[in-house]
Chain A
Amino acid sequence: MRKSVTLLAVLGLVLGLCGSGPAWAAYPDKPITFVVPFSAGGGSDVMARAITKVFQDEKLLPQPLVVENRPGGSGAVGYAYVARRVGDPYIIATVSSSFWTTPLTAESPVNYEDFTPISGLGLDPFLLMVNPKSPYKTLEDVIKAAKEKPMGLTVGGTSLSDDRVCTGLLEKAAGIKFNYVPFEGGGEAMTALLGGHVDLCWANPGEALNQLEAGRAVALAVSVEERLAQLPDVPTFSEAGYPQVVHYQLRGIVAPKNVPEEAVKVLEAAFKKLHESQAWQKDYMERFMVTPRYYNAKDFANAIVERNNAYIAVYKEIGVLK
């Protein structure tokens, strides 16, 4: 009896070692949890589900990604959940602006230093929008009016998010002051613009396209260095003489801190293949008008720090941070 127990124990140990030893070569050997720190149906969720589909269709990893929505606290709840799993390569999360803004503004318990960067995937630029009935037809009109009447023009945007940052950048570049009206979400700010309740608002191309096509809103300028392929008539801020107004939402993937180097390599390679996939470019990037931009793990780490500094600089400028 005792013998057999020992035998079983030894057998178990050996099997266990075999199981775990070479398993590293075979990472991943079980499904990877893909946390979206927001509710289903939002921008990050849409991206995560599109990624999962391409991963599955094109077999980019031997194991599936399983999307898990962990909403709450503008991303703080989901990111804290992922950050707790230090060293675990079987959990990854989407990155969007809240990855930086929530820790900076809302004293969230974790920040970018608690994560291992995997890959950057794309940028969402911001468009400065007006109502077609508005007297302002160009960026110059807006700036002229704002100079004549400081605080006279209202800008709608989502609380302290990218919209606030873009407003701050333009104010500083042009030496003007807008009256910023915070809304809960981009949809509300857009509705206020359509109804003529605010003079200006900011929107991602994906959010704005419906309104642009229907002629219910006009884009005056875009916040990246080059004009967008889909909106060739919309000038950049640099063309108008405000090269400082460059801001975008960086989208990508992170894992918890201290994930084994080998696992980062495997994930990085898979996301690079994703970036190169036709289906991904067509079904996600084009459809949602995200500008594709791939960053490997190292570049993404630098970009994350650079983004964080950019947010801090603007928040200090506008008095949100001391």
Chain B
Amino acid sequence: METLELLINGFAVALQGQSLLACLIGVIGGVIIGALPGLGPSTGVAVLLPLTFGRNPTTAIIMLAGIYYGAMFGGAISSTLINTPGDSAAVMTCVDGHPLAQQGRAGAALGMASLASFIGGTISIIIFTFLAPKLAEAVLWFGPPEYFALMVMGLSTVSGLTGKSPFKGMASMLVGLALSTVGVDLVTGKPRFCFGRPELFSGIEFITVALGLFGIAELINLAAGESGQLKRTEVKLSFRNMLPNKEDWGHSWPHILRGTFLGFFIGMLPGAGGTIASFISYSMAKRRSKRPELFGKGAIEGVAAPESANNAASVGAFVPLLALGVPGSATTAVLLGALMMFNLRPGPLIFQRAPEFVWGLIASMYVGNVMLVALLLLFIAAFVRVLDTPVHLLVASVFVLILAGSFSLNVGIFEVGITVAFGAIGYVMKRLEYPPAPLVLALVLGHMLENSFRQSLIMSRGDMSIFFTRPLSLILLAVAVAAVVIPAIRNYQRASASRSI
């Protein structure tokens, strides 16, 4: 009950005028940053960080945290409306969110995204409130072999991302894995496939690829007049029609809950984060859904699953940041720098040393989530108007936004080139019906997959048994194998059953 008391004190901080204002500015800024293609929360937090100097540290961090989880809400907007991921964690939202928009259900998709984000975020904050220090211990169970097993598990979900042809999905994944080998090698320090370009030393930036494969490819498609005019909801834009209906909820709620827990735990692990969480949540949803055939063509639960997961992950990332003093994601790494500048040293002692800060921050996250869901539901109608824009204007302006977003990542023209190149590749893939999502997933996971594999083998000095003698790693690998084998057996049985008829 001590926790509740502390939380109430936290609310006393979070509900002060200036905290509320900071929270509101943060979440609105976050939604905008999240919705703008390419501009992700880590850039957003970094850019706004200097503005918070000299302010009260609690107010400042409340604002910066608001940007972080606000961006997770905002990412869904551009994913759904223009098939362009606003940030990396929103890639999976494109896959079903955009088809829903094309079917005139953009409002429902955005409504579901907001509510799923809200539920995912709020449940995660509740878990965080009561269990943060204990959960931090679980983070420490993960060494390189466990990360390797987790990445294998992530890749095994690719089968859930493929369209009609498993072969095309696998091909797309292999291209992604090959691309992930570009960059300076962790062990030898030598650049691989960089062709002397220092821009490639740290690897191909995942979001630059996603902007091209999803965003630009869709624009080419639109310009070529192949996907038909985007249409707005035919029914009147009343508040009620904006919200997901009862049937949508029926399909979505189990996936929201699963996405929340998955997202929270994956978000907690340093380096894994919201992007991976949203991929895994999506493909688990597809596998468990009663109507998997609808995924990729506008299944509302295909929006709910990744959105609840990426929001939950953004809360989960605060566990190692606050309780261990190690950042769990790119954005919390920036926040760690900010905390140090304010002389708040995160770590196990911060809960005792600065309780008003920690609990104020936690309480502000409850407040921020309520603000976000209220704001978004109010403005969905306005967002959906984007679809009324004539195609020629929409294509041109979104193209500029995408290029600007890509440019902003490293303030360089090189990234813009990569985005455009992948736009062309994405269009070809679209025409040939190769799904882009496995490529993107493999690009995200490939880097960690390789590094953790090599780290593990260095630790064991070349002994492969390290992956099977550590219990957690063994369990995760077993899950990965089951994820591939069980559907294959089922398909085989189904196929032989239909043959025998």
A interface list, Cβ under 8 A from B: 39-42, 45-46, 49-50, 53, 67-74, 76-77, 80, 102, 105-109, 151, 154, 159-160, 179-184, 187-188, 190-192, 194-198, 206, 209-211, 213-214, 216, 287-288, 320
Bound together, the chains give a CA A191 to CA B142 distance in angstroms of 9
For this complex, 17 residue pairs linking A to B, each with C-beta atoms less than 8 Å apart, are A41-B335, A41-B336, A45-B337, A72-B202, A106-B189, A108-B198, A109-B198, A179-B459, A181-B459, A182-B186, A187-B270, A187-B326, A210-B347, A213-B349, A214-B347, A214-B348, A288-B340
- Which B residues are CB-close (under 8 A) to A195? 139-143
Contact B46–A40 (Cβ < 8 Å): yes
Using A53-B53, A74-B184 as known contacts, say yes or no to A183 and B455 having CB atoms under 8 A apart: yes
Bound together, the chains give a CA A40 to CA B334 distance in angstroms of 7
Bound together, the chains give a CA A77 to CA B333 distance in angstroms of 21
| Distance to closest chain A CB from B80 (angstroms) | 29
| Distance to closest chain A CB from B474 (angstroms) | 16
Contact B338–A41 (Cβ < 8 Å): yes
Given known contacts A76-B198, A184-B186, A198-B459, what 20 new A-B pairs fall within 8 Å (CB)?
A: A39-B46, A39-B334, A40-B47, A41-B45, A41-B336, A67-B50, A70-B410, A73-B202, A77-B198, A102-B201, A106-B191, A108-B201, A109-B198, A180-B458, A194-B326, A206-B340, A211-B325, A211-B347, A214-B347, A216-B348
| Distance to closest chain A CB from B204 (angstroms) | 12
Q: Which one of A106, A181, A198 contacts B201 once the chains associate, using CB atoms below 8 Å?
A: A106
Contact B139–A191 (Cβ < 8 Å): yes
- Which B residues are CB-close (under 8 A) to A198? 143, 459
Residue of B at shortest CB range from A321?
A: B189
Using A72-B199, A105-B189 as known contacts, say yes or no to A191 and B140 having CB atoms under 8 A apart: yes
Contact B451–A72 (Cβ < 8 Å): no
Contact A73–B199 (Cβ < 8 Å): yes
Residue of B at shortest CB range from A52?
A: B50
| Distance to closest chain B CB from A217 (angstroms) | 10
Contact B410–A154 (Cβ < 8 Å): no
Bound together, the chains give a CA A72 to CA B50 distance in angstroms of 21
> Is B196 among interface residues, defined by CB-CB distance under 8 A?
yes
Counting from the closest, the 9 A-B pairs by CB-CB distance are: A197-B143, A40-B46, A210-B347, A73-B201, A41-B334, A76-B198, A73-B198, A195-B140, A41-B337
- Which B residues are CB-close (under 8 A) to A209? 345
> Is B74 among interface residues, defined by CB-CB distance under 8 A?
no
> Is B346 among interface residues, defined by CB-CB distance under 8 A?
yes
Contact B347–A287 (Cβ < 8 Å): no
Residue of A at shortest CB range from B200?
A: A73
- Which A residues are CB-close (under 8 A) to B347? 210-211, 213-214, 216
Contact B189–A72 (Cβ < 8 Å): no
Contact B326–A191 (Cβ < 8 Å): yes
Using A69-B46, A211-B325 as known contacts, say yes or no to A46 and B340 having CB atoms under 8 A apart: yes
> Is B298 among interface residues, defined by CB-CB distance under 8 A?
no
> Is B471 among interface residues, defined by CB-CB distance under 8 A?
no
- Which B residues are CB-close (under 8 A) to A72? 198-199, 201-202, 410, 412
| Distance to closest chain A CB from B197 (angstroms) | 8
Contact A181–B144 (Cβ < 8 Å): yes
Residue of B at shortest CB range from A101?
A: B189
| Distance to closest chain A CB from B150 (angstroms) | 14
> Is B10 among interface residues, defined by CB-CB distance under 8 A?
no
Residue of B at shortest CB range from A57?
A: B54
> Is B273 among interface residues, defined by CB-CB distance under 8 A?
no
Bound together, the chains give a CA A288 to CA B341 distance in angstroms of 9
Q: Which one of B141, B200, B348, B410 contacts A71 once the chains associate, using CB atoms below 8 Å?
A: B410
| Distance to closest chain B CB from A283 (angstroms) | 8
Contact B46–A41 (Cβ < 8 Å): yes
Q: Which one of B49, B271, B411 contacts A70 once the chains associate, using CB atoms below 8 Å?
A: B411
Q: Which one of A159, A194, A214 contacts B189 once the chains associate, using CB atoms below 8 Å?
A: A159
Residue picked from B53, B143, B198, B334, most chain A C-beta under 10 Å: B198
Q: Which one of A76, A179, A188 contacts B458 once the chains associate, using CB atoms below 8 Å?
A: A179
Bound together, the chains give a CA A42 to CA B337 distance in angstroms of 6
| Distance to closest chain A CB from B369 (angstroms) | 24
Contact B50–A49 (Cβ < 8 Å): yes
> Is B327 among interface residues, defined by CB-CB distance under 8 A?
yes
Interface residues of B in 327-365 (CB under 8 A from A): 327, 330, 333-338, 340-341, 343, 345-349
Using A191-B139, A210-B325 as known contacts, say yes or no to A106 and B337 having CB atoms under 8 A apart: no
Residue of B at shortest CB range from A183?
A: B455
Residue picked from B47, B184, B327, B458, most chain A C-beta under 10 Å: B184
Contact B187–A182 (Cβ < 8 Å): yes
| Distance to closest chain B CB from A110 (angstroms) | 9
Bound together, the chains give a CA A288 to CA B343 distance in angstroms of 9
| Distance to closest chain B CB from A288 (angstroms) | 7
Contact B455–A182 (Cβ < 8 Å): yes
Residue of B at shortest CB range from A108?
A: B198
> Is B385 among interface residues, defined by CB-CB distance under 8 A?
no
Contact B190–A190 (Cβ < 8 Å): no
| Distance to closest chain B CB from A167 (angstroms) | 13
Contact A46–B140 (Cβ < 8 Å): no
Bound together, the chains give a CA A68 to CA B337 distance in angstroms of 17
Contact B201–A76 (Cβ < 8 Å): yes
Using A191-B270, A216-B348 as known contacts, say yes or no to A181 and B199 having CB atoms under 8 A apart: no
- Which B residues are CB-close (under 8 A) to A39? 42, 46, 330, 334
Contact A188–B337 (Cβ < 8 Å): no
> Is B302 among interface residues, defined by CB-CB distance under 8 A?
no
Residue of B at shortest CB range from A215?
A: B348
Using A72-B410, A183-B455, A213-B347 as known contacts, say yes or no to A191 and B320 having CB atoms under 8 A apart: yes
Residue picked from A50, A53, A190, A197, most chain B C-beta under 10 Å: A197
- Which B residues are CB-close (under 8 A) to A320? 188-189
Bound together, the chains give a CA A291 to CA B137 distance in angstroms of 33
Residue picked from A109, A179, A210, A320, most chain B C-beta under 10 Å: A210
